[in-house]
Amino acid sequence: MSVHATAIVDASAQIGKNVSIGAHTVIGPGVKIGDGCKIWPNVVIEYTSLGSNCEVFPNVCLGLTPQHLRYKGEPTRLEIGANGVFREGVTIHRGTPFDESVTRIGDNAYFMCYSHVGHDCRVGSNVTMANGVLLAGHVQVGDNVFISGVAAVHQFARVGKGAIISGGAMATNDVPPFCIAQGDRAVLRGLNVIGMRRLGMDKTAIRQVKDAYKAVFLSGARLEAALQSPELTVDAPAVKIFREFLASSKRGFTRPAAGASASEAEEEVAS
């Protein structure tokens, strides 16, 4: 372990093997840092579990007090998985007692400069957030999601597995799995076909998701009927993820713009 002479490490902190902590960094109470982590100068971490082999760049703040008017200092936490990269100025707040008292980030996070994750968020693994992305409180983000620069997600909204949110988008409703959301307020612009390929989905699985997308958004059928259609009840893992996400939505979900055509479901947009 290498700790700079000007760093402050709380006596309760648990520091793993081969960890480096830079100048003027503050490791506060309730912190556990996994093996192989690199903590750059001028970082502040409190009440956080950080998995192995993470890199935390200057001016990052992890696990600080949630921005919630009713929070009164109750014990809450931030939990981060392994192999995360948190670039300059990233802020991630710990949870509140008004949810599960924890904010969670999965493995292989790549959060670019000045992105923010609010209290009580649940962010899956292999999630990339570009510069200036904002997740409000209680947001849920599935695995393998890409959120482009200065996009924002409204509190309590969800982003499904394999989705893309385009740069500058303001997502006020749930973004379904494998879809592309764009604009203010965000609308769907088709499916993330290249992203599905990167997830190892074959042509049949991708076609099944395309058919499900069209049945829900482009057929004119009511949601209840679309969810019972052959396209949504087919025995296919990706379609099951898509269907269950829509069926469980509480905020409502993002839809294509008025006048969208079936061709949008065929477009290929890289993540």
Q: List the catalytic residues.
A: 119-120, 137
Contact 78, 100 (CB under 8 A): no
Contact 122, 112 (CB under 8 A): no
CA 97 to chain centre: 21
Contact 48, 30 (CB under 8 A): yes
Q: Is 142 left (phi over 0), alpha (psi -120 to 50) or beta?
A: beta
Burial label, 45 (beta-carbon count in 10 A; 0-12, 13-18, 19+)? buried
Alpha-carbon distance of 177 to 77, in angstroms, equals 28
Burial label, 39 (beta-carbon count in 10 A; 0-12, 13-18, 19+)? buried
